[in-house]
Amino acid sequence: MTAATERLLPWIAIVNFALVAAVLVVLGRLATARTLTDVPDGRQNTAELVLDWFVDLSRRIHPGSVLLVAPFLATLFLLILFSNLLAILPIPLLRIPPTAYFSVPLGLALVSVLGVIALKAKIDGVRAALKHIVWPNPLQLVGEATHTLSLSLRLYGNIGGEYLVAVLAAQAAPWGIPMVIHSLGLIPATVQPIVFTLLTADFLAASAVGAGARHDNGPVARVPAPAHGNGVAVTEVR
């Protein structure tokens, strides 16, 4: 990494992140542009394949608000995944993953933590969300700050550390070795978005979303959660 690249790193991170977001918006438009059919084919099948896991995850958190929770989780997952996968592009400046610059993971973690509070406020009302922050103990606030720190440091440590190792290896041995390190880096690049999304979903579930202020005046919160995914409860009953 030259000195000029190092100086311009914030701008490179911003531009790359914006590019990833733009590409995702275009892909999302393309995948869902047509009217949806009952028997999916081609593009619709791909879109449903991508979204299925998030719909399942958010249904487990709160069956009544899948439409609110699933897009949030899916956006976080796809943004982080595509940002990490920029590292395998063979284009000089574009291959710097924005998540390897600490401000981007910090922003994503802030979005995650604040988004959990906002979703709680949207589903259960503002009072329940505020109560969740300070009750049973005002130390919950420290917990929220720690969540932000741990989420951002985890993402940055994995992707930035891998990128640093790749850069150092490329300086020491320009041929062959960086390819091995890049292919090993594919593992954290795909696992970290899953972990980030799962932890956000866990924070959302831990904030007892759907069990707050509106619990008594609507049937929404009383819908029983379905048997988890692959019919464990059914097999146990048999």
Residues near other proteins (CB under 8 A): 150, 153-154, 156-158, 161, 191, 194-195, 198-199, 202, 228-232, 235
Rank residues 93 and 149 by Cβ distance to other proteins and give the closer one. Answer: 149
Rank residues 130 and 187 by Cβ distance to other proteins and give the closer one. Answer: 187
- Determine whether 209 is exposed, middle or buried from the number of CB atoms within 10 Å of its CB (0-12, 13-18, 19+): buried
DSSP string, 66-127: HHHHHHHHHHHHHHHHHHHHGGG---TTTTS-GGGSTHHHHHHHHHHHHHHHHHHHHHH-HH
Chain centroid to Cα 84, Å, comes to 12
Q: Taking the complex as a whole, how short is the minimal distance between the CB of residue 156 and other proteins, in angstroms? A: 8
Rank residues 3 and 91 by Cβ distance to other proteins and give the closer one. Answer: 3
Please state, in angstroms and rounded to a whole number, the distance separating the CA atoms of residues 106 and 99. 9
Rank residues 55 and 220 by Cβ distance to other proteins and give the closer one. Answer: 55
Rank residues 48 and 102 by Cβ distance to other proteins and give the closer one. Answer: 102
Q: Taking the complex as a whole, how short is the minimal distance between the CB of residue 106 and other proteins, in angstroms? A: 12
Q: For residues 73 and 201, is the Cβ–Cβ distance under 8 A? A: yes
Q: Taking the complex as a whole, how short is the minimal distance between the CB of residue 203 and other proteins, in angstroms? A: 12
Q: Taking the complex as a whole, how short is the minimal distance between the CB of residue 153 and other proteins, in angstroms? A: 5
Q: Taking the complex as a whole, how short is the minimal distance between the CB of residue 85 and other proteins, in angstroms? A: 18
3-state helix, strand, coil in the chain (%, to 5): 75, 0, 25
Please report, as a single letter, which amino acid is at residue 154.
R
Q: For residues 80 and 91, is the Cβ–Cβ distance under 8 A? A: no
Rank residues 226 and 229 by Cβ distance to other proteins and give the closer one. Answer: 229
Q: Taking the complex as a whole, how short is the minimal distance between the CB of residue 232 and other proteins, in angstroms? A: 6
